Amino acid sequence: MADKIAVNGVKKSFVSGKQSLPVVGGVSLSVADGEFVAIVGPSGCGKSTLMKIVSGFERADQGEVLIDGVPLLRPNAKGIVISQHGSVFPWLTVQENLMFGLNGDGHGDKAALADHYAAMVGLKGFENSYPRELSGGMLKRVEIARALVVKPEILYMDEPFSALDALMNLRMRTELLRILQEERHTVLLITHDVEEALYLADRIIVLSPRPTVIQASFAVPQPHPRKLSSPELQVLKDAILAELGL
C-alpha cells in the first residue's frame, strides 16, 4: 500500500529582491496511514514552510508531495490544518462554527453531527455559546472539533497548543489522544516542545537549522498513556535535545 503522505526531495527558497533565502534544503519523508509524526527543529528552520508545502498551501521549488500516491498541487479535502492562531468565527455559535464546513449533501443532520463533535471535545452544553463566552482552551477544542467534523484523513497541526497556558496545554494533549483513539487520523504535528512530541507521537523527526533537512528520526514505541518521567522517554528526550544542541 502507498504511504499516506510521501514527501520526495522537497526544496524551497524565498526570494526577496535579489536575495534568495534557502529554507527547505531537501526533505524526504514518508508517513504511514494512521501514523502520528511530530516534527521538531530550531526556531526559524523552516518547519511551518515545510508544513505548508505538505498541506498544499505552498508549492515546492523542487520535489513533490504525494497523498495516497497522488501528487498534491493544492490544499486537499483529505487534510485539515489546525494552527496556533485559531480560525473560529467569532460571529457564529459553537454549533454554527462546527456546521460551517459541512456544505453539500452527504453529512445527514448537520446540527446533530456538530453536536456530536462538540460533545466529543467536552463542549456539551455550549453548542449555542459564542466564542467570546469561551475560555482559550474551550476555543481550541472548538477548533479541533471543527477540523474533525469534516472527517479529514490527515490532521496537520502547527503548534496547535502553544497559545494555551501550560495546564491547558497538558489537558489538550490528553484530549487529543482520547479523540485519536475514537477516530483514526494520520497526524503531522509541528511543535517546539520535545515533551509534547514524546507524549503524543509514534515518531519524532528532528530538523536541522535552515536550510532545513532531516537531521535525525526517533521512533517512540511506548504505548499510551505515556509517563514522561519513564527512563525510556527520558533517554529519548536527552537524545533529541542533544540533536537540537541543548
Ligand X SMILES: Nc1ncnc2c1ncn2[C@@H]1O[C@H](COP(=O)(O)OP(=O)(O)OP(=O)(O)O)[C@@H](O)[C@H]1O
By the rule CB under 6 A, 136 interacts with ligand X: no
Minimum distance from residue 156 beta carbon to ligand X (Å): 13
By the rule CB under 6 A, 23 interacts with ligand X: yes
Give every CB contact of residue 145 below 8 A, 6+ residues apart in sequence.
Answer: 98, 117, 118, 120, 121, 123
Which letter, b or e, does each residue of 22-36 get, where b requires 16 or more Cβ atoms within 10 Å of its Cβ? Answer: ebbbbbebebeeebb
CA distances from 101 to 54, 87, 134, 141, 150 (A): 21, 12, 21, 16, 7
Nearer to ligand X, 25 or 46 (CB): 46
d(CA 206, CA 39): 6
User: Which of 36, 38, 46, 138 touches ligand X by CB under 6 A?
Assistant: 46
Nearer to ligand X, 43 or 181 (CB): 43
Site for ligand X in 188-207 (CB under 6 A): 192
Task: Specify the stretch interacting with ligand X by CB under 6 A; choose among 14-22, 31-39, 66-74, 171-179.
Answer: 14-22
Count of all residues that appear for the chain in the document: 246
By the rule CB under 6 A, 100 interacts with ligand X: no
- List interacting residues with ligand X (CB under 6 A): 14, 16, 21, 23, 41, 43-49, 192, 210
